[in-house]
Structure 1
Amino acid sequence: MRLWKMTTACAVLAAAILFGGPALAAEAHGLPGATMSLWWALPFAGLLLSIATGPLLFHHFWENHYGKIAALWGALTVIPLVMGFGIPTATEAVLHAILLEYISFIILLFALFTISGGILIAGNIHGTPTVNAGLLLIGAILASVIGTTGASMILIRPIIRANDNRPFNAHVVIFFIFLVSNIGGSLTPLGDPPLFVGFLRGVDFFWTTVHILPDTLFVGGVVLGVFLVIDIILHRREGGAPKIKDPTPDSKVRLRGLANLPLLAGVIGAILMSAAWKPDVVFTIQGVAVELQNIVRDVIIVALALISLVVSRKEYREANGFEWGPIAEVAKLFAAIFICIVPVVAILKAGHDGALSPLVALVSLPGGEPNDLAYFWLTGVLSSFLDNAPTYLVFFEMAGGDAQHLMTTFASTLAAISAGAVFMGANTYIGNAPNFMVYAIAKRRGVNMPSFFGYMLWSGLVLIPTFIVSSLIFF
């Protein structure tokens, strides 16, 4: 029986974070998590199963009706909550997730997606090992400023063009995913969704910059060094191979859409403002307290995104392959995810008294203190195959869920959770949203990208040893 409970708990944890969004950040106000069974997670598991299998098994139906499917699973969560706990309790729990977490999260993604889509790097350069390493370094730095998605979408096409006359170029895209789409986004809440969700939960904006910087420099430096060695070896091998006509000859590189740069700075400023300005003005909506500074922040960020649409030239967005489909899909699916995960949050918050208590024991030392090494690896391994934002929040909740306590007394634990979620999203194509986007773009541009398991062989040989050494040094 105990084995069954452990197996079930692990299965529900996997379901609770598979493609899940930051709804885990929601406080499950009024829901008695200690008495709720794992059956409450079934709608969320169903939603995630739909997300995982829909595009593969019934692609066309999913493309046309994914919004309706998501809404159905959301209804199957809300209706039982109302019936089981009453309208006031259910309303407050769901609204807390939507008003305090989902809206701010999707607004930031929308703004970064929109503003970065108006920035175009035109022209082309030759992809030598030094040039490639420089582009990867620039991309990794940008990832913490404009997000891993923004940096990936701006730079992936230029780096493919720079190497499209080389017979060996797939490794460049692979390391691009490692560094730009994942590791580089570890230093600010703008960099990767898990860190922004942590910011919404009360983690200081520059906390990760200070506490994850040494680990990021080590991991990023090692991975970039390995890339440089591999690229030099392959570049020398290409010297004796038949020359490939360059489909995109070298031309002057120009940065277009410069008007969007101050808009990105404005997004950063709005987030910093919301962290520093505390007017103590609160609006209560159905029992949910919404602070004025957060409303002002979100309004400013939306306005900046709309300004970007006005000032950016249409041809720049077209050259970037910009379209609204991806952000619309994220908005619909994440809205359902935020709702469906509310009961799971209640169970997690019950800790040792809840149905997921076996998982709490896995990350605790015999004396009850958090096991930082276990937090790093469990967060990381699950982030490799599931979405890293909810993975972060699962373990954030398990570590107590109190940002002030985690930033001070248990700072090393929060650092382990943060690093594991961001770094190990690079282990597979599905660990972080930009990974698969970059893969798809590279395939369409003719790059001979490895299969799912072929990519995992690369990450197993390069990333896992690096993470082992890093975890022993820092955690």
Structure 2
Amino acid sequence: MAADLDGTKLGLTWCLPFVGILLSIALFPLFAPHFWEHHHGKVALFWAVLISVPMALSLGTATTANALVHTALLEYIPFILLLLALFTVASGIVVSGNLHGAPMTNTVLLGIGTILASLIGTTGASMVMIRPVLRANDDRKHNVHVVVFFIFLVSNIGGSLTPLGDPPLFLGFLRGVDFFWTTRHLFSETLFVSAVLLAAFFVMDTIIYRREGHVPSDPTPDQPIRLHGGLNMLLGGVIIIAILLSAKLQLGTLSILGTEVSIQNLLRDAAMVVVTLVSILITPKRNHEANGFSWSPIAEVAALFAGIFVSIVPVLAMLRAGSAGAFAPLVAMVTNADGSANVAAYFWLTGALSSFLDNAPTYLVFFELAGGNAEWLMRQGALTLAAISSGAVFMGANTYIGNAPNFMVYAIARQKGVKMPSFFGYMLWSGCVLLPVFALTTLIFFRT
């Protein structure tokens, strides 16, 4: 399996395909969107082949095949099936009607979305809530700040309390982190950051609202709010139950292509497939049309993460080598003079990379850097794991490319006529609003 690779014998050149695919994901959508739209799968395949072939030639075909099968069965397939189930279920839930986007109404809507993010994922919550929020504010002269704070809270920070919330945390769950560990250990941090941002938003929105004055006409007059697709909410509960049972049951293992796979995990993955199929069958077509449903986003995610999971195999082996491997300088950066973990460094380094690269593989990098032992990290290393988890989830909000829902919300808002800031304009918002909040978070929670 992947753990059999000797990371002490691998040099930094083995990292190039991993860096390449992450930079491709970060830069192509910005600078070559048309090319990326049609060829992202080929780009992912290119980087996967670029690491697989040298591994087979240098480390042996048996070792390479074993590592890739292990990664596919134990990490990639469960990861993608969960995202598929959450994506499908959330796409069947529609909030109709309209409220007037007054400051308190907007704050409540953002608060609801923040809570939903840990239940149906940041992508699911973003897709369910963004259209009601845009409708509520389509009569406002200035509504950019509403969408920016929506990305901060609903598309990122709100997803920090369960493995359902954000992909990095589900990868942690697959590595052995308890389902409710983040609920217990990140609750205070999440509550603090969310409360500060909601309060800041309410003050800002109140000032802007008062300066705007009366708007004579509303393109979408106020109507009662109604929730459609309630059966999909029940299917969301099935997803949670399936994941919890997979962590509690012990039904033995099966050997598949030389990799031991727990039977309860196979049943969990089968449940994700069943939930997806049932959701498609029971969801009215009008619900999918209202949400602009398409399989394209999840297909893109599946292709890109296939490339990521393949190219990260040697990187994780090198990280397991610790100070004996090529990443010794990075180990030194997150280690105090007495050998203890520099928790603040873990928070900021994980967050900085998650701001510009995909936060799921970034989480894996620092999870392995911290030792990769879930049992130890949940107990003796709890503060370090909390710093890694919150850094990956929170700071995905720093740029449009930090987390998948960010750009989706950006695109939907632009389509609805919101004059969203540019890439660097958005970073000005996050730099002025988020970075001071994260600095306070460090002083309060991660100061060691």
When normalised by structure 2's length, the TM-score is 0.97
Residue in 1 that maps onto 2:155: 181
CA distance in 2, matches of 1:282, 1:319: 43
C-alpha distance 401-305 of structure 1, shift in aligned 2 (>3 A): same
In structure 2, relative to structure 1, the CA distance for the partners of 1:55 and 1:461 (3 Å cut) is: closer
2:3 is paired with a residue whose SS is coil
Provide the residue aligned with 1:17 in structure 2.
Answer: none
Tell me the SS of whatever aligns to 1:137.
helix
Kept in 2, the 8 Å contact 1:91–1:286? The answer is no
* Match of residue 470, structure 1, among 416, 441, 445: 441
Number of paired residues? 446
Contact 2:356–2:401 (Cα < 8 Å) also in 1: yes
Which whole-Å deviations, capped at 9, do the CAs of 1:201-260 have from their partners, x for residues lacking one?
Answer: 0000000100110111111101100000011111111116xx352111111221111111
Query: What percentage of residue pairs aligned between the two structures are identical?
Result: 61
The DSSP-based 3-state class of the residue aligned with 2:4 is coil
Distance, in Å, in 1 between the alignment partners of 2:436 and 2:42 is 43
2:415 to 432, 444, 448: 444
* Partner residue, 2:425: 454
Runs of 4+ with >4 A deviation: none
Aligned to 1:154: 128
Match of 2:79 among 100, 105, 110: 105
1:196 aligns with 2:167: no
What residue in structure 2 maps to residue 334 of structure 1? 305
**Matching residue within 319, 331, 339 for 1:368:** 339
Deviations 1:116-146 (A, max 9, x none): 1011111111111111111011100000000
Aligned to 1:251: 223
Partner of 1:7: none
SS at match of 1:29: helix
Query: Is 2:67 the counterpart of 1:96?
Result: no
Structure 2 Cα separation of the partners of residues 56 and 215 of structure 1: 32
Query: Which letter does structure 2 place at the counterpart of 1:159?
Result: V
Three-state SS of the structure 2 residue aligned to 1:255 is strand
Shift of 1:181: 0.7
Partners of 2:197 and 2:31 in 1: CA distance:
36
The one-letter amino acid paired with 2:10 is M
From 260, 272, 277, the equivalent of 1:289 is 260
Deviation sequence 1:60-83 (CA, Å, 0-9, x none): 443333323322321222222111
Question: Which of residues 266, 279, 286 is equivalent to 1:315?
Answer: 286
What corresponds to 1:380 in structure 2? 351
Deviations 1:314-364 (A, max 9, x none): 011011001011111111111111111111111111111111111011000
Q: Distance in 2 between matches of 1:72 and 1:192?
A: 27
Conserved? CA contact 1:115–1:264, under 8 Å: yes
TM superposition shift of 1:459: 1.4
- Are the equivalent residues in 2 in contact too, given 1:29–1:89 (CA < 8 A)? no
Q: Secondary structure at the match of 1:259?
A: helix
Indicate the residue corresponding to 2:92 in structure 1. Answer: 118
* Structure 2 counterpart of 1:128: 102
**What residue number does 1:5 align with?**
none
- Structure 2 residue aligned with 1:206: 180
1:359 matched to 2:333? no
Q: Residue 161 of structure 2 aligns to which amino acid in structure 1?
A: L
Q: Aligned partners of 2:156, 2:3: CA distance in 1, in Å?
A: 33
User: Is 1:69 paired with 2:40?
Assistant: no
Specify whether residues 336 and 465 from structure 1 end up closer, same or farther in structure 2 by C-alpha distance, changes over 3 A only.
same
Q: State the one-letter code of the partner of 2:218.
A: D
Verify the 8 A CA contact 1:167 1:244 in the aligned structure 2. Answer: no
Query: What is residue 368 of structure 2 aligned with on the other side?
Result: 397
Separation (CA, whole Å) in 1 of partners of 2:420 and 2:428? 13
Q: Deviations over 1:362-415 (max 9, x none)?
A: 000011111111111111122112111111111111110000000001111111
Task: Check the 8 A contact 2:22/2:357 in 1, yes or no.
Answer: no
| Distance in 1 between residues matched to 2:440 and 2:34, nearest whole Å | 45
- Which position in structure 2 is the counterpart of 1:278? 250
For 1:365 and 1:291, locate their aligned partners in 2 and report how far apart those are by CA, in whole Å.
38
Taking the aligned partners of 2:23 and 2:107, their CA distance within structure 1 comes to 39
* Cα distance in 1 between the residues matched to 2:30 and 2:440: 37
Matched, 1:144 2:118: yes
Instruction: Tell me if structure 1 keeps the 8 A contact 2:26–2:356.
Output: no
- Aligned-CA RMSD value: 1.3
- Which of 217, 220, 235 is residue 263 of structure 1 equivalent to? 235
Q: Mind listing any 5+ residue stretches in structure 2 that lack a counterpart?
A: none
Distance 2:435 2:253 in 1: 46
Deviations 1:165-224 (A, max 9, x none): 000111111111111111111100000111111000000000010011011111110110
Q: Contact (CA 8 Å) 2:22, 2:358: kept in 1 or not?
A: no
Hey, what does 2:2 align to over in structure 1? 28
CA 1:465–1:61 in 2, change beyond 3 Å: closer, same or farther? closer
The structure-2 alpha-carbon separation of the partners of 1:57 and 1:373, relative to structure 1 and needing over 3 Å to count, comes to closer
Q: Choose the corresponding residue for 2:144, options 167, 170, 175.
A: 170
Give the alignment's TM-score, normalised by structure 1: 0.91
